[in-house]
Chain A
Amino acid sequence: MTLPSLFDYRDVVGKNVVEELTILASYVGNRSIKMVNSTAVGGGVAEMLHRVVPLLNELGIQTTWEVIKGEAEFFDITKSFHNALQGKEEYFRKETFDTYLHYNELNYKDMTFEEDLIVIHDPQPAALIHWNPNRKNKWVWRCHIDLSHPNQQLWHFLKTYVDQYDAAIFSSPLFSPELAIPQYQFYPTIDPLADKNKELGRDYVDSVLDKYGIPRDKPLVTQISRYDPWKDPVGVIQAYKLARKYVDCRLLLVGDKAADDPEAEKILQMVKEAAGDDPDIHIIYLTKSIASEINAFQRASDIVLQKSLREGFALTVSEALWKRRPVIGSAVGGIPAQIIHGYTGVLVHSVEGASLQIRGLLNQPDVAEKLGKNGHQRVKDEFLITQNLKRYLLLLLTLERPNESTIFLD
C-alpha cells in the first residue's frame, strides 16, 4: 500500500496548513535529521517514525532513521528501565548499568552521526551521546514516557547522560523532570490518514458491528482500552449500570491483550463478573486489534469513554475526538490536555461523575455534537501529525538561535 504523501493531508488539515509547512521548511533550508530508537515495529514511537520520517523528507529535510541493536539481555534491562522510570520500585546493580552502557557503546561504534540534528528517542539509546563529546551538531533527547516520578537510583544514573544533550523534548509538563538543559513540549499526535483514523464508509462500520454481534438499536457507549486495572473497565461497567436506570443504551468494551501481561486474563474475568448477564454489555477481547475495526467502533459510538485511573498521554482520546465523538475522560495524565472540560469533552473524577455525564450527553445530543465538533478542532490544532512535522521544523530553527525568544524570518 502506498503511504499518503504530504499532498494528501491537504484535504484533512487544510491547504493553507500544508502550504505553511512548506514555507517553514524553506526557511529551515538544507538540513538533516537522524532519528534513533530501539525498535522498528510495534509501539507508538515506531508507528510515529514510520510516518514522520518520509514526510520530513518530502518537506526537504533529509531525515534518516536507525534502530539500535542488542541481545535479549540489553532489552530486558531497558524494559526494566522503562518500568522504573515510570515509578516502579527496583534496585539496579552496577553490572546492569555496565551492560546497558556496553550495548550503547557497541551501537555508537556501528553508527555515524553526521546529521545536523540527532534525535534520540527514549532511554534505550540515551547514552549514545557519551561517545560524542566533541560533536558540532545538535543532539536532542525525545522522551516519550512519564518521568514525573522516576526511580531515583536509575534517574541519577541516566541524568548524567541526559544533561549532555542540547535539549530534551517531553509530551507534557506533567511528565518532565527538573533538568538544566532546555525542554520543549511536543504533544504526541495521531495520523488522520492512518487506518485507525481515516474516514470510513457507513457500510464498513455496519459490517464491523455485525461481525461482533452488536445491534444498532440503542445508543452505544464505548471504551477502547487494554484490559488493565488502570483503565478501570470495572468502573466503566458500574458507571454504565448507574446511567442505565435512566437512559437506554449499550456498553461496548474493546481491548487487546498485551502478550507480556499475565494479569490480563484475571482482569477480563473481573470485567465479565461485573457485567453479569446484561445482554446490552458487549465485551470484546482481541488478541491483536485491527486498526480499521477500532476506527469503526469509535465512529459507531454515541459516546466514547476513557475512564482511566492513571494514564500516559491517552491518544485514544484524540482518536475519538478527531471522529467528532463526545468523549468522557478522567482528569488524569494527558487527558486534560486534550479535553478542556465542558468545551472539547468532559472530565470526570469518579464512577458517579461518568454515569451522570453518560446520562447528560445521551439526553442532550446538541451538547454532545458541539463537544464533538470542538474536540475535532482541538485535535486539528494540536494533536495531528502535521503539528509534529511543524514542531520538528521549529526545533531546527530554534536550536540554531538558542538565545532568541522571538525569531523573525525574512
Chain B
Amino acid sequence: MGDLFQFSSSTSLGKLTGRRAQDLEELLELIRTCPDSSIFYHTFSAFRKMREVQVPYNNDFAIWISQNLAEEALPEKLTAIELAEHNTIASLRKRIVTIIEDYKKEAPEAFARTAAKPFYLCDAVRIVYLTDKFAYNLKSFREALDSISVDSIYFHFIESRLHTQLQTDDFSRWIDESLDMPELAAKIRNIDMHIYTLEGLRRKIASLIDGHT
C-alpha cells in the first residue's frame, strides 16, 4: 500500500488594484512591477476559467491584446507559454516580459497603438485547503477522481507546482513514487492540458487509469 494522498483544492478571491494599461508599453510596465499574486491572477487563475469555456488563450494579457489592440502574433506567443513548465511566478513573469520586449523589436508599431478599453490589473488572495477526500491505492484514487471538484483537479495538475517547485503534477508524482507505477505516471504527466476542459482532463486521467493493466 502506498502513502496516503489527501486531495487539496484551491480558490481565490479577486482584488481590484485601480491600476490599468492603455497600450503595450503600459502593460509591460504593469507586468514588470505588479505583485506575484497579480501575475497569478492573470495567468494561472485565468487559464482555469478559460479552459472551461474553450477559450484558446491561457492568460488575460493575451486576450486583451487580441481583442483590444488587433494584434494576433503577440497573443499567440504569450499563449504558447506552458504554465505547467513554470514552478515559480518569477520565472513566468520573466518569460512574459521577454516575449513582450522581443515583440517590441519585431513590431514596434504595435506599441504605438492605444486600446479602446484599458487592461485592468487585478490581484488575488489564494486560498489552498485540504478536502475530505483521500486515496491510498489506485482503486481508491480512481473512485475519488469522480467526486473531487474541478478546482481540486486543477490545483493538483497545474497549480501545486508553485508550492512543490517541481516540474510535475501531484497525481503522476504520487502514482510514480507511492504506487510504483512509472508507466501510468508518465502517461498522466504527458497529458496536453491545452486540448481539454477540466472535466475533459478528469475523463482523460480516468481513462488512462481504466486502461492500465
Contacts and interface: CB of A to CB of B under 8 A. Distances in A.
A273 interface: no
A382 interface: yes
Interface string B136-151: 0000000000011101
Interface in B88-136: 117, 120, 122-132
B139 to A, nearest CB: 20
A259 interface: no
Interface in B65-85: 67
Contacts of B17: 183
B195 interface: no
B143 to A, nearest CB: 13
Contact of B15 (A17, A23, A184, A410): A184
Contacts of B125: 394, 398, 404-407
A152 B132 CA distance: 51
A145 interface: no
B149 A407 contact: no
A14 B198 CA distance: 14
A374 to B, nearest CB: 4
Contacts of B36: 405
Contact of B16 (A176, A378, A390): A176
Interface string A359-400: 000000000000000110110011000000011001101100
B167 interface: no
A53 interface: no
* Candidate in B36, B117, B127, B149 with the most chain A CB atoms within 10 angstroms: B127
Contacts of A179: 18
Interface string B1-40: 0000000010111111110100000000000000111000
A394 B128 CA distance: 11
Interface string A321-339: 0000000000100001000
A308 interface: no
Interface in A55-87: none
B13 A398 contact: yes
A61 to B, nearest CB: 16
- Main secondary structure on chain B at its contact with chain A? strand
Contacts of A23: 9, 129, 131-132
Interface in A158-185: 170, 173-174, 176, 178-179, 182-185
- How many A residues are at the interface, by size bracket? 35 or more
B13 A173 contact: no
B14 to A, nearest CB: 4
A56 B123 CA distance: 25
A406 B126 contact: yes
B16 A170 contact: yes
B142 to A, nearest CB: 16
A230 interface: no
A395 B14 CA distance: 10
Contact of A406 (B14, B49, B50, B128): B128
Interface stretch (B51-59, B172-180, B185-193, B205-213): B51-59
Contacts of A407: 125-128
Contacts of B120: 173-174
A408 interface: yes
B53 A343 contact: yes
B129 A410 contact: yes
- Output the residue of A15, A377, A406 with the most chain B CB within 10 A: A406
Contacts of A340: 50, 53, 55, 63
Contacts of A210: none
B53 A182 contact: no
A1 interface: no
A131 interface: no
B52 A377 contact: yes
A185 B128 contact: no
Interface in A2-18: 14-17
Interface string A241-271: 0000000000000000000000000000000
A404 to B, nearest CB: 7
Contact of A24 (B12, B14, B129, B147): B129
A183 B37 contact: no
Contacts of A409: 127-130
Given A173-B120, A409-B127, A182 B147 contact: no
B157 to A, nearest CB: 16
Nearest to A406: B126
Contacts of A406: 37, 125-128
A89 interface: no
A185 B148 CA distance: 26
A92 interface: no
Which of A178, A341, A375, A408 has the most B CB atoms < 10 Å from its CB? A408
B131 A20 contact: yes
Contacts of A14: 149
Nearest to B10: A406
A341 B147 contact: no
A20 B151 contact: yes
**Closest CB pairs A-B (n = 5):** A173-B120, A185-B14, A409-B129, A394-B13, A183-B16
Given A405-B124, A407-B126, 5 more contacts: A19-B149, A343-B53, A394-B12, A398-B125, A406-B126
19 contacts: A14-B149, A15-B147, A16-B152, A23-B131, A24-B127, A173-B120, A176-B18, A179-B18, A343-B54, A374-B53, A375-B53, A381-B52, A395-B13, A397-B127, A398-B125, A405-B123, A405-B124, A406-B37, A407-B128
Interface of A: 14-17, 19-20, 23-24, 27, 170, 173-174, 176, 178-179, 182-185, 331, 336, 340-341, 343-344, 374-375, 377-378, 381-382, 390-391, 394-395, 397-398, 404-410
